Every structure is written in C-alpha cells, then in structure tokens.
Amino acid sequence: MPKIEENQLFTVIIEWEVNPKYQQELINGLSNQIDTYFKDYDGFISASFHASEDGKRVINYAQWVSREAWSNSFQASGRNEVQTTNDEIIKNCEATTLKLNSYHVAKVIENI
C-alpha cells in the first residue's frame, strides 16, 4: 500500500449505484479496464473498489501522482475506446454514476 502524505497525490472518488445482482460484475469490469488501460501508465498509483454491504453501491478510490497524470492517461489510452467500454460495463450492470469528485490529501492519521 502506498504511503499517503498530506498535500501529495491526486485522488478521484467515483460512486455508482448498481443492481445488487451485478455489483461484483461491475467491480470486475471496471478493474479489468484499469488493468488494461491505466495500471502501467506513468503517474498511476492505485485503485481500490469498495462494495456496499447491501449490494447497491460501488465506490472507486483511485490515486495518481497529479491531476495532469490522470487527465493525460485518458488521452494516451484512447479516451473514446475507454469511454465506450466503460459505458457498456455500466449499462450491462444496470449501474448509474452518482458522483465523481476529485480531492487532494489534506490530513493523514496513521497507526503504523
């Protein structure tokens, strides 16, 4: 796990609402997309997927070295192909993107 420090890294948090019977399929599809298009891109740090216990939500927490690295990764990977694949995954899983927000780390408390 990368060490998170204040005022470093760019974080994107995306929340989806999903039909509970497709929650794991949505996670698998989106994580495969990250493996295919972004994992080896310079500036990518990590991506985590969080499944709600009721099966109705998925949160994707992704970190990059900067906003620029995140933004440039879409251009380098072929944004149209990524978006088409993403749209298909979301449609097949009866999912809806609820929120997409970006953040920087403002405070860290660790027990290490």
Contacts of 13 (CB under 8 A, 6+ apart): 59, 60, 61, 62, 99, 100, 101, 102, 103
From first to last of its 112 residues, what are the pLDDT tens digits of the chain? Answer: 556 666 678 899 999 999 999 999 999 999 998 888 888 888 999 999 999 999 999 999 999 998 899 888 867 655 566 677 778 888 899 999 889 898 888 887 877 6
pTM here is 0.82
Angle subtended at Cα 91 by Cα 64 and Cα 20, rounded to the nearest 5 degrees: 85
Give domain limits for the chain: 20-104
Residue 95 corresponds to which tokens in the numbers above?
Answer: 């999912």
Domain 20-104 part of CATH 3.30.70.100: yes
